[in-house]
Amino acid sequence: MRALTIPEGTLFEQLPQGIRLCYKGDICLEECFTFPISAILAGGNIEISKSFALESMKGSSITLHSPVQVQHIETSRLVLHQVFIGEELHLKGPMELHGNIKIKRLFIEGNISIHGNLQAETCIVNGSLNVDGELRAALIVVNEGNLSVRNSAQIKRAIVEDGTVSLNDESSIVLLRAKTAKISCLNAQIRALRVSSELSIDDGNIVSEVVIAPKVSFHPQLQGRIMVLESSEDLGPHMVKGCLSFADLGALIPDSDQFLQQREVQTDLNIDEILSEYLLDGHSDQTPKPHQESKPRANPKWSDKEENLNKEASAVRIILEESLDEHSDDDSSLELSASKIIIDSYGVRNEKEDNSDLDSEDLSEDSEDSNEVLPTAPFKSKLALKLPSTAVFDEPDSEDLEDILQENADEPKEDLAGEQAAVIVHNTNFNTETLPTTFIRNSIPEDDYTQSEEQESGLRIVSDDSYEFDDIITPISEEGDLEESSIIEPLSTVEDDYSSIEGNESEEWASMSTIKEDIEEEITLMNSSPPKQDEITLEHKEDIFPEPENDPIYNKLKDDLNTILSCYDDPPPPIRKLRDMIRAQEYAILQDEVRYIWSQIIRYHTQHGTAVPPFVIVAFNRLNTNLR
């Protein structure tokens, strides 16, 4: 049996929370202990082989071979051989972290690079955060730093007001606010995006409801759909559909401020109010505060069920199909139909093989090859404090080790009661939640539309209330072992997700968060019948021209054109242009010009402060359908 050697420079200090272990060299713990340990402070490295709970650790490098419950870690290099699971974790950098983290609340001071997966409900960073693996979070706030995600990202709210956001793989984000944003994703679904400086999107596909940026740079081959885009500069060539400004849609979105507030992209956002949805009472003094000067933090309250982002949304959503698309031959409607976006499976890239994905078993604590994934060096201690398995011995002080070792040994212990910190977390099987594996936008195939006049209406008004967000986090089973519950499963494939929706709408469907877009009923005026021909007043008779003989296309366009003309005392220039082209039977040219004419009609009403008559909307859409 090896002897228990306690070298010179070792300090065991009894605190109400447990023993604080300090040593000026390396510390190796080879066994868990029956008595609580409050903190471990080392002048060198720390290596822990067994599982136990403590409050804080501080050392040059920390290696954890087993799950350890700790709240505060200060080191330059942290190596995790098991997935780190916990309720709350405070990290102080600069730090290189190798491994996977699954945490409820993560607070970071300084710049940190995570070479692995990060799954957190709330992540507050005072510095920069770089994630080489997957990033899943309900809320991530980065103050005075940047956010970079190399692999896929699934985030509900990402707020980086003073820095740059870089997305390099498939991303699903409900709200993204940043100073600058660089999106290099093959597929990016960002419901609301606000950038205060510059937005750059490379070749790929983008789906968004609203994008606000002073300067926007689109790749010429960028595709996708953006409903509302506000920018002070021209976009240049691109293939993105929509991209209409509030000026173009002013008649259909009369309250733009309400539209922006419902999507949280207004100029001033109350971050404290958002944080109060996630943080526990009593953590305000331990939490790194957002970069705001005049707003004191209120005591927040935790709610296990995430509030639906759209439950109070009431503004209508206007969708124009293929309104500015010059590259689609199959689309025959002005309606921008809902598209189905399924984020495919993703995995952490191995540093040695950038093109290969890690299987889910590589993220397991039981994996035999886990040491190969984590770039760890052999632990070499010169003069280390080693406590063998025969020794019988659980958050945080930032005092220097030299000051602690030089304290007077005769100081009364009761004076140390003020050094207590947070409560120790013993339960590893806490109920946490994970972001949904996919964001799915339901589509309605064009073949499913009937040929009725109502359903062929090209301008549809869709209620924002149709969106439904499920709970952000999926609880971990309390019956499973720690190793099983700490595995982060990769996302399912597109085929698996689609089959689960059609075949089984029970557990798999309930566990997925979906962004649903169900087209509801037409507004009453749009469903009502247009005026009959005999009801048209005499002042419009001069605009109604005689019927050409043997012209089947004209017979389809006549009634719709007369309905449009009957809505104006003096038809605006774009409608007169439409009338003249139909009179001249220039149908081929009209097919190419119809989208431009429609945009000019909207612009005309916007400039005159009037709304497009509902009968014009219905008739123009039918005319466009019949023209094709």
CB 187 within 8 A of CB 169: no
Residue ranges of the domains in the chain?
1-69+376-425, 528-627
Q: Which residue has the tokens 């983290």?
A: 101
Tens of pLDDT, residues 558-593:
788 888 888 888 888 888 888 888 888 888 888 888
pLDDT at 582: 84
Residue 406's pLDDT band, with cuts at 50, 70 and 90, is low
Distance, first Cα to last Cα, the chain: 90
pTM of the model: 0.49
- Of the candidates 36, 49, 48, 103, the residue with the CA atom closest to the CA atom of residue 75: 48
Q: Say if residue 208's pLDDT is above 50.
A: yes
CB 459 within 8 A of CB 353: no
DSSP-derived 3-state class of residue 396: coil
Give the least confident one: 161-175, 393-407, 544-558. 393-407
- Of the candidates 117, 77, 83, the residue with the CA atom closest to the CA atom of residue 97: 77
Question: What does the pLDDT average to over 206-217?
Answer: 90
Tens of pLDDT, residues 62-110:
999 888 888 899 999 999 988 888 888 899 889 999 999 999 889 999 9
Dist CA 627 CA 621 (whole Å): 10
Dist CA 346 CA 151 (whole Å): 8
Those residues with Cβ within 8 angstroms of residue 552's Cβ, 6 or more apart along the chain or in another chain: none
Helices 614-627, 587-607: axis angle to 10 degrees equals: 160
Q: What is the DSSP string of 10-63?
A: EEEEEETTEEEEEESSEEEE-S--SS-EEEEEESS-EEE-S--B-SEEE-SEEE
Dist CA 231 CA 218 (whole Å): 12
Tokens of 69: 């419950």
Tens of pLDDT, residues 314-351:
232 333 333 333 333 333 333 333 332 222 322 333 33
At position 43, the amino acid (one-letter code) is G
pLDDT at 112: 94
- Count CA within 13 A, CB hemisphere, residue 509: 11
Share of the chain above pLDDT 90, in %: 20
Dist CA 107 CA 110 (whole Å): 10
Question: What does the pLDDT average to over 497-520?
Answer: 35
